[in-house]
Amino acid sequence: MLSNRETSFSETYEYALRFALLQQNIAREVYKAGRETYKEKFHTTDTPLSAMFLANLCAVLERGGSLPATPNAHPLEPSQVAGRCYGNLARALRLQKSTDTVTIETLIRLYVDYVLYDFQTNGLAPSLQAKARLIKCIDEFLLVTLPLARGNTDLMNRFGSYKLILLHLEQDQYVEFVGEIFEVAPKEHQENIRILRPSCTRQAAIVELQALQAHLARGETTFKPEAFESAQDFQRWITMEKEKIGQLLNGLQSIPCTSASQPGRVDLIPPDARKHFQNLLLLILPEDQWKKKFGEMGSVFLNICGHHWRIPAFFRQVAQFKAANIKWEMGELSYELLSKAIMELETVSDDAIYPDVQEFLSICDSLENLLVERFGEALRSLDRNPQEEFGWIKVIVNSIKDNQILMSYREGSGPFVQQIEGCIQV
């Protein structure tokens, strides 16, 4: 599969797609179980909403739906879009001569029209990102309307069915998202989906996690004892792994479903999950979620993927720092964002393990060498506005010199600092 692409990223694509399909299949199981629960009430209906319900809804919408005031929020933040559309929807309902024909379906369709018009007005073109924000805007609207339906079983069931549909749509979008970030041709991506979907089930995930539990019990681990500073540190990591696997199993086993399919054996968690997580970061590093094509959705996908792949929070920060270095070296990231990346890594979190700390030290050593090269180039190339470049190097030098993790794990501030400090006034 994808033999014409670079091997490492081809593997990452397949693992990311398997995970997205797992999420999609789980959402479908929840959807089917919900349909069983709602039975005949799970369908669209022509029953009009009551005049009292609509009057109460208009009053809530005119107050902004109880959304918090966030004056500095981006105008395309879903809560901001929803807030603007609430007022438009309330005015439209007030102006209607008769509300006898207003159903839940017509209400949501009207609201969606306002949201799409708002997207267009604010320059958001039709895209996967727009679909994701539309889903969130609808969810915001349901959060406003659900409390008004309390006490009315029919309305609660009908709104509940929409919540299930949204869950389904939210997970569907990640399958499409994976194809976009790896730039796979649509026809090829659909064929890969067809091949992989049947095996990426909840039951397959449960079987895989149970197998991982058995591996841990036999001492078959990703890291060996010699990779840690002490036997106690190694045992602490084993305990954390057991807890994470147990939490994932409990979560999967608690999901309602209508049938228990017979699972095949499939790797849903990569053997080298850290490498593949790093590859994902290189594709969707969230510099600015409003300007970068995949920033907002990418951040969510990284979080849920990292959770299921058991990527510790500390390593996620290390991986983001490494991705920032690579992007900076390629000229795709500014000194300012590089500086921010290292400043976010000041202390070792509770789930940090020694191999990950060593990875951080290695990245810093590499960064130091690169900065020395850039500093020398800036001295020789005065047309590159060296004062600005020197200023950022000074900031990064101080960040490295004062970094608590580096101070704890290596002696002194390294030859890099002496080289730079001799040239600029730190």
Confidence band, pLDDT 50/70/90 cuts, at residue 5: very low
Provide the pLDDT for residue 349. Answer: 80
> To 10 degrees, the CA torsion angle through 296, 300, 301, 304?
170
pLDDT tens-place string over residues 221-240: 889 999 998 999 999 999 99
Average pLDDT of every residue of the chain: 81
pLDDT of residue 216: 92
For the segment 240-262, the average pLDDT, to the nearest whole number, is 83
Domain segments of the chain as ranges: 7-196, 201-253, 312-421
> Would residue 5 be called left, alpha or beta, if left means φ above 0 and alpha means ψ between -120 and 50 degrees?
beta
Asked if residue 111 has pLDDT above 50, the reply is yes
360 has pLDDT over 60: yes
At residue 183, what is the residue type? E
Mean pLDDT of 375-393: 66
Say if residues 84 and 138 touch (Cβ distance below 8 Å).
no
The closest alpha carbon to 85, from 1, 3, 8, 141, belongs to 141
- Lowest average pLDDT, out of 98-107, 246-255, 305-314, 409-418, goes to 409-418
Quote the pTM value: 0.79
Q: Is the pLDDT of residue 92 over 50?
A: yes
What pLDDT was estimated at residue 425?
A: 44
Q: pLDDT class for 28, splitting at 50, 70, 90?
A: confident
Predicted confidence at residue 206, as pLDDT, reads: 93
Q: Which residue has the higher pLDDT, 198 or 424?
A: 198
Mean per-residue pLDDT, 75-101 = 84
Of the pLDDT bands very low, low, confident and very high (cuts 50, 70, 90), residue 307 is: very high
